[in-house]
């Protein structure tokens, strides 16, 4: 490769500076926010009983890490989220394949799917608690209920958009519905599946927290509700911060898998 020209170097340098500035500004915003929060809480500008403060959150975090109770809560919420995500993936793809394979079934069930998808799923949570009991199973189901209908609809729509000429190719080679599915529909839908799953992991977390609000003795959702009822708002805020981190990490992992896959093809 030849040496890039002066103009090209200037351009790259400018891009680099722009990127550095944005990263720096982001960190600055974060530090200002934390600093302002801490200072105003200490000076009594805001009521630290309601708003807590970064240092209180850090101390609580440290204490709960020490007695290990925090790990149980995080572990439970994380397990429930991953379980419900796993079932959403399996059931979502399974149902979408079924609908794709029987167009008549999909036409019959379409209005029901649309209604279930637009229903605010948090309304179902109390019902689930009564039906299934206040246990982990219920919370996993609550997590699934938020994500499943949307995934089925989106996956099915994606399956239908597969180039009909490609399906005809399978027919001309003597293949049937099964070959169409395995050789064309599923492989061509992998990018779609990955992008839908990226959204779903967050939705599952939402559902699990809703479930924990009303029917749990453990987990971050329980911690939030318990904290707010006993006015331990430091607990609530700490849990929210941890949830932010969990959501970001889970999304990041799926994003990485998606990027890896798209790069490969």
Partner 1 sequence: MKPLLEVRDVCLSYHSISGETSALSHISFDLMPGEFLAIVGPSGCGKSTLLNLICGLLKAEQGTILMEGQPVSAGNARIGYMLQKDHLLEWRSVYKNVLLGLEIRKEVTPEKLAFIDEMLSTYGLDKFRDAHPSELSGGMRQRAALIRTLALKPDLLLLDEPFSALDYQTRLNVSDDIGKILQKANKPAILVTHDISEAISMASRVIILSARPATIQKIVPIQLEIEDRTPLSSRNAPNFKSYFNLIWKELNKNV
What's the closest the beta carbon of residue 252 comes to partner 1, in angstroms? 25
What's the closest the beta carbon of residue 90 comes to partner 1, in angstroms? 22
- State how far the Cα of 55 lies from the Cα of 45, in Å rounded to an integer: 16
171 binds partner 1 (CB under 8 A): yes
36-69 in b/e burial notation, b at 16+ Cβ within 10 A? ebbeebeeeebebeeebbbebbeebbeebeeeee
194 binds partner 1 (CB under 8 A): no
Residue with tokens 């189901």, as numbered in its chain: 141
Backbone angles phi, psi at 206, to 5 degrees: -60, -50
Q: Which residue in 91, 169, 194, 240 binds partner 1 (CB under 8 A)?
A: 169
Q: Taking phi first (over 0 means left), then psi (-120 to 50 degrees means alpha), and beta for anything else, what does residue 231 get?
A: left
Q: Which residue in 108, 190, 244, 256 binds partner 1 (CB under 8 A)?
A: 190
263 binds partner 1 (CB under 8 A): no
164 binds partner 1 (CB under 8 A): no
What's the closest the beta carbon of residue 125 comes to partner 1, in angstroms? 40
- State how far the Cα of 149 lies from the Cα of 147, in Å rounded to an integer: 6
Q: Which residue in 57, 74, 124, 170 binds partner 1 (CB under 8 A)?
A: 170
Pick 118 or 263: Cβ nearer partner 1: 263
54 binds partner 1 (CB under 8 A): no
Find, among 254, 149, 247, the residue nearest to 198 by Cα.
Answer: 254
Q: Contact positions toward partner 1, by CB under 8 A?
A: 163, 165-166, 168-176, 179, 183-184, 187-188, 190, 265
């Amino acid at each position: 490769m030849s040496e890039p020209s002066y103009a090209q170097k200037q351009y790259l340098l400018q891009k680099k500076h722009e990127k550095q500035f944005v990263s720096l500004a982001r960190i600055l915003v974060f530090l200002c926010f934390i600093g302002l929060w801490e200072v105003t809480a200490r000076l009594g500008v805001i009521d630290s009983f309601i708003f807590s403060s970064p240092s209180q959150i850090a101390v609580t975090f440290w204490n709960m890490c020490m007695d290990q109770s925090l790990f149980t809560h995080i572990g439970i919420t994380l397990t429930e989220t991953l379980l419900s995500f796993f079932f959403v993936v399996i059931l979502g793809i399974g149902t979408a394949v079924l609908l794709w394979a029987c167009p008549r079934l999909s036409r019959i069930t379409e209005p029901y799917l649309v209604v279930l998808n637009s229903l605010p799923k948090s309304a179902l949570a109390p019902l689930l608690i009564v039906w299934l009991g206040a246990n982990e199973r219920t919370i996993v189901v609550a997590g699934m209920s938020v994500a499943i209908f949307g995934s089925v609809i989106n996956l099915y729509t994606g399956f239908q958009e597969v180039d009909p000429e490609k399906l005809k190719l399978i027919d001309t080679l003597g293949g049937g519905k099964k070959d169409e599915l395995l050789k064309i529909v599923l492989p061509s839908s992998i990018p779609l599946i990955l992008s839908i799953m990226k959204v779903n992991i967050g939705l599952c977390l939402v559902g699990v927290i809703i479930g924990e609000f009303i029917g749990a003795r453990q987990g971050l959702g329980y911690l939030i509700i318990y904290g707010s009822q006993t006015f331990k708002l430091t607990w609530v805020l700490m849990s929210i911060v941890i949830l932010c981190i969990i959501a970001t990490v889970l999304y990041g992992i799926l994003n990485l898998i998606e990027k890896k896959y798209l790069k490969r093809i």
